[in-house]
Chains A and B, each alone.
Chain A
Amino acid sequence: MHDRILYRLTWLALVMSLGHHLDHLIRGNAVGWPVTEEVNAFTASLVVYPIIATGLVLYHAGRVGPGFWALVSGGGAVFVGAVHFGPAAVEPPELILDHYDPPILGWLAFGWLVVFVTVLAITCLYETRLWASQRRARHATRPVDAEVGR
């Protein structure tokens, strides 16, 4: 069965991701291939779109469940968090805050990033809980299935 909240959270994360990539393009100070020649974290981050598209198709077909999405959201949160907030961040907040005029736009873009990473982390929490509850439900129904099969 497909979870409507999971779908909504996935679409929300997708919109937040697109907005953040748009921020990269507007600033122009942390972009890579295909915008420039350099292959960097920006380039690597673009892989999320085929992953989400494939995931949506497979989830709709019932081939993957909330566990897959928990890994995608959690992985995304860790990647974006490490790139922007980690101790060895390649793109620290100053690269966003100090590259907009007026500065309020920088705070808007930075606030968007903060909300984006939070959404990914919260989505991962939700999907993990869903995953755990589905596993519990499967285990609970397994003896009944065996009984029916006998």
Chain B
Amino acid sequence: MTATTPPPAAGGGRPVVRPRPAVPATARGVGGAVLLVGTRVGLWLGVQLGLAGLLILVGAAATGGQALGEVAGWWMVYVGLVDLGTLGVIFWLLRRDGGSYRDLLGPPTTAWQVAVGALGVLAASVPAVVFSAELTSALYGDGAIAPMFAIVDLPPWASVVSVVVVPLLAELAEPVAFLGLILPRLERRLGRPWLAATIVVLVWAGEHALYPLLVSGGGLDWEFAAYRVGSVLPFLAAWTAAWYALGRRLLPVMAARWVFNAGTALALALGLVQ
């Protein structure tokens, strides 16, 4: 018996019954994770359908398909709205369940650890880049640009937002939500880190099917949705594995992703992707 073990209760040696919280901590944890994923899915669909509806209402688009096509060209900007919503839910969960945003980023990480770790994460992403490029070539022809980049059509001010603001918001929200918040809660619930990581990677990849929503032949372009999931899957698997390898330090992963995403947005804004 340790010094902190409570003494047996008087009267028949019955164990002390401690008051239970209204909701078990683990259940509340997974509930929060589901809420976060649900919010993101709802926001992806809500933002795109809402904007498309708005375009039809003001007469800027004649059909739903045309409106969705117009909205899709702005996906690198409206991503920011979804990430703002995600950040809102993260902070709400932190206030409800306790803890700080810093806690979600993992153990303390020095600047050089972030730099070296980010370089390692970028190196580990190279196979994913090659796989994604090969998949694009196989589905859309040699030298083709990935459809989600080919459709981007932004005025200069929006391009600046997509390069400066959106990638930063994405790093503050997306990896923090999936790796910092959802994965640890799922690990606690399932007790098997590999299973929790697999589920998170699949859900995270599946979410990419929802943006941008492309229309083909009068309906949603399901081939593109499947391509989007397949092309992003190795990146997410590599980043999740890197998060484990770095002792659950999120900052190097965030830094590498920021370089990657901001670099892509900059290349698109400068017309370097043809």
Give chain B residues whose Cβ lies under 8 Å from the Cβ of A85.
126-127, 130
Q: Which of A21-29, A52-60, A114-122, A137-145 contacts B (4 or more CB under 8 A)?
A: A114-122
Give chain B residues whose Cβ lies under 8 Å from the Cβ of A125.
117, 120-121, 124, 242, 245-246
Taking each of B116, B121, B124, B238, which has the highest tally of chain A beta carbons within 10 Å of its own beta carbon? Answer: B124
For residue B29, CB closer than 8 A to chain A, the reply is no
Give chain A residues whose Cβ lies under 8 Å from the Cβ of B126.
81, 85, 117, 121
For residue A30, CB closer than 8 A to chain B, the reply is no
Compute how far the CA of A111 lies from the CA of B116 in the bound complex, rounded to whole angstroms: 27
Give chain A residues whose Cβ lies under 8 Å from the Cβ of B121.
125
Describe B's contact surface by its main secondary structure: helix
Chain B nearest CB: distance from A115 CB in Å? 8
Interface flags for A117-136 (1: CB within 8 Å of B; 0: not) read: 11001111110110000000
Chain B nearest CB: distance from A43 CB in Å? 23
Q: Count of A residues near B, CB < 8 Å?
A: 21
Q: Count of B residues near A, CB < 8 Å?
A: 22
Taking each of B134, B138, B234, which has the highest tally of chain A beta carbons within 10 Å of its own beta carbon? Answer: B134
Describe A's contact surface by its main secondary structure: helix
Given contacts A118-B241, A122-B245, A125-B245, are A111 and B124 in contact (CB under 8 A)?
no
Q: Are B134 and A126 in contact (CB under 8 A)?
A: no
For residue B25, CB closer than 8 A to chain A, the reply is no
Chain B nearest CB: distance from A116 CB in Å? 8
For residue B144, CB closer than 8 A to chain A, the reply is no
Q: Are B124 and A122 in contact (CB under 8 A)?
A: yes
For residue A77, CB closer than 8 A to chain B, the reply is yes
Q: Are B130 and A118 in contact (CB under 8 A)?
A: no
Compute how far the CA of A118 lies from the CA of B124 in the bound complex, rounded to whole angstroms: 5
Give chain B residues whose Cβ lies under 8 Å from the Cβ of A115.
127, 234
For residue A67, CB closer than 8 A to chain B, the reply is no
Compute how far the CA of A75 lies from the CA of B134 in the bound complex, rounded to whole angstroms: 24
6 closest Cβ contacts across the A-B interface? Answer: A121-B124, A126-B245, A114-B127, A125-B245, A117-B127, A125-B120
List 13 interface pairs A-B (beta carbons < 8 Å), by A numbering: A85-B130, A93-B130, A93-B134, A111-B131, A114-B127, A118-B124, A118-B127, A118-B128, A121-B126, A122-B124, A122-B241, A125-B245, A126-B246
Which residues on B are within 8 Å of A, measured CB to CB? 116-117, 120-121, 123-124, 126-128, 130-131, 134, 138, 234, 237-238, 241-242, 244-247
